[in-house]
Structure formats: structure tokens, C-alpha cells
Amino acid sequence: MLVLVLTGTGLFMVASAGEVWGQFNYENPFYFVERQAFFAAAGLVVMAVISYVDYRIWRNLSSVLLVLAFLLLVAVLIPGIGMVRNGSQSWIGFGSLSFQPSELMKIVLIFYLSALLAERKKVIHLFWKGLFKPLLVLGIAFALIMMQPDLGTAAVMGGTAFLLLFVAGAPIRFFVLTGVSAIGGLALLIISAPYRMKRITAYLDPWSDPLGSGFQIIQSLYAVGPGGLFGYGYGESRQKYYYLPEPQTDFIFAIWAEETGFIGAVFIMILFFLLIWRGIHIASRIEDAFGVLLVCGITAMISLQSFINLGVVTGLLPVTGVTLPFLSYGGSSLTMTLASAGIVLSVSRSTV
């Protein structure tokens, strides 16, 4: 029910947030919501079918799917195959029909790591026997996604993987050492790309460059702030009129907060909180180690992605391209997220 409410709310959000840009770019104010409705319907069918499939099948298929996901990540980097949008070569497809391989990798990596860590639970405290292989696979996937480049997706994937390692019982000293290394690596990634450095500068002081690197966050805050308690009313956003770029994707929550106010914003956050709580509750009832890790991984992926998106929109985190699960416009993201919800339902069904 939570997934259905979130998906339905997402359609209302896309219909309003994408209205102006749909009319401007495609002469159809319903362009984005029509496409989103198609992917929502397809994704819900996939979710329903997967919910009746024994979740253990993903353990057996994890290696094959991982190879496929890696091949797609390599293919997307090949000129003529990968499509460039907003500075990132992250899509494969033709014209308006496209697919984002990194969305598949996020799910497949959860399959693979859950299967691998379930087998190595007794030696997880040993680096070479327990941790080296999962870290190697994660490192290669992270590097391929960063070559697109897509720091947001890579961060969600990396955070999910480390939470799986924590649930599997990896020693605390590993996380301390990795955390120190990650801070250094993140600093190098930021310094190596001028646009990332500009995003950090804009995060610290957006008004230092209001028409450049700080533009998106300023316009987002101009949407969230004036919404007040109840907002301007559904469909009455002002920032969607060419102020906030692509309001139907990464910054859709800002438009929602502007139109529905504090009440509407809290409503969305409560839905995500309940969804995460249900994921933890389902994982606590499972005796199978693979099932526990699978549910924890999917729950972590959704919660991390939601936290990052909401943090960016409200100025708590630097701007990065991460969509809001179930709500932001995007066929690949919505379909894969609904498919992952079907897997959690499948695990939950097995405990009944």
C-alpha cells in the first residue's frame, strides 16, 4: 500500500511539475505524466509478478546478472552507443526511449553482495577471505559509473554496499579505515573535476554565484520556503515556470513543497519513514541470511537515495543528480525501484 500511495502521489507531482516544460519542449503539458504513467503501470505489473517469484532465484542468477550489468556499464561509455544528457553519458537507447544501466547495477550489486556475504558470513572478519572480493566488485562498478560521470548514483550504490557489509558483520575497524580513505578519495574526486568544486562552493554559499553554480539550490529554496504551512495549492507553483531547471526530476520535491506546504512535505517524509520501517520489520522476521541482506540492501538503497535527494533540495547537501524514489520523473528509475519493491514483497511473502 505504501508503494502504491507513493507511486500515485508521484504521478500527481510529475503532472504538475512537468506541465510547463512539457508544453515548452513538446507542446503537450501532459507529456511527462503520460510517460510516467506508462512506466508506473509497467513497473507495478513487474512488481506484482516478481512478488510471486521465489526470491532465492536471484541468488542463483546474481553472477550472470552481474556480468550483464558490467557489460552494459562498459557499453554506455562507447561513443555512438551511450547517450549524453546533462553532461553525463549514462543512457543507452534511441531517441526518447532510453535505459540507464547504472539503475540496473544498483539492484544487481545487491543481489550479488547478498549472496556472497551470506556464504562468507563466518569469515567476514578476514580481509582476504571475506572482504576482498566484494570490495573489488564494488570498486569496479563504482569506477565505471564515475566514468560517466554520475557521483550521485555511485554514492548511493557505495553506501548501500557498506551497509550490507555492516549487516553481514564486518568488523568496526574496517569501517573506520574505509571512512578515512573515503574522505580522502572524495576530496580527490572533487578537486579533479571543476564542476564538483563549484557545487561544493555553491553548497557553502549559493549566493556567491547566484546565476551559475548556486542557481539550482537558490531556486529550490525559493520554492520550498514560501510554501508555508499549506502551500500555494496544487498546480500553482511559480518556480516551475522556467526558474527551476527540470523541476519534474531531481527537484520535484521542491515543487511539491511549494504547492502543498509543510503539511505536504511532511506527508511524503512520513511515507518514506514507514516504508523504511516496514523493510526493517520484514528483515527482522527472516531466518535466511540471503533474504535478510537482500531486504536490508533494497531498503538501504531507497532510504539513502531519498535522504540525498531531500538533502539536496533543502540545501543540507551539495547538489548531485539523484532522483527521489517513486516520485521523480524517469522510466528506468521508477521501473527498477518498483521491481526492487516486488523482491521485498516476495521475501515478505515467504515469511507468512
Instruction: For residue 213, give the C-alpha cell.
Output: 553554480
Average pLDDT over the chain, rounded to an integer: 89
Does 193 score more than 70 pLDDT? Answer: no
Q: What would the pLDDT profile of 18-51 be if each residue is shown by its tens digit?
A: 999 999 988 899 999 999 999 999 999 999 999 9
Q: Where are the domains of the chain?
A: 2-350
**Position 322 confidence tier, pLDDT thresholds 50, 70, 90:** confident
Does 352 score more than 60 pLDDT? Answer: no
End-to-end CA distance of the chain, in Å?
A: 17
Give dist(CA 242, CA 169) in Å, integer.
Answer: 49
pLDDT value of position 204: 80
Average pLDDT (190-205) is: 73
pLDDT value of position 100: 86
Q: What would the pLDDT profile of 156-178 be if each residue is shown by its tens digit?
A: 999 999 999 999 888 888 888 87
pLDDT value of position 325: 94
Q: What would the pLDDT profile of 45-92 be if each residue is shown by its tens digit?
A: 999 999 999 999 999 999 999 999 999 999 998 887 888 777 778 888
pTM of the full predicted structure?
0.91
Instruction: For residue 201, give the C-alpha cell.
Output: 562552493
Average pLDDT (141-167) is: 90
- pLDDT more than 90, % of the chain: 58
Q: Give start and end residues of each alpha helix (H) in the chain.
A: 2-17, 19-26, 31-51, 57-75, 101-119, 132-146, 151-168, 172-192, 194-204, 215-224, 252-284, 289-313, 331-350
Contact 190, 200 (CB under 8 A): yes
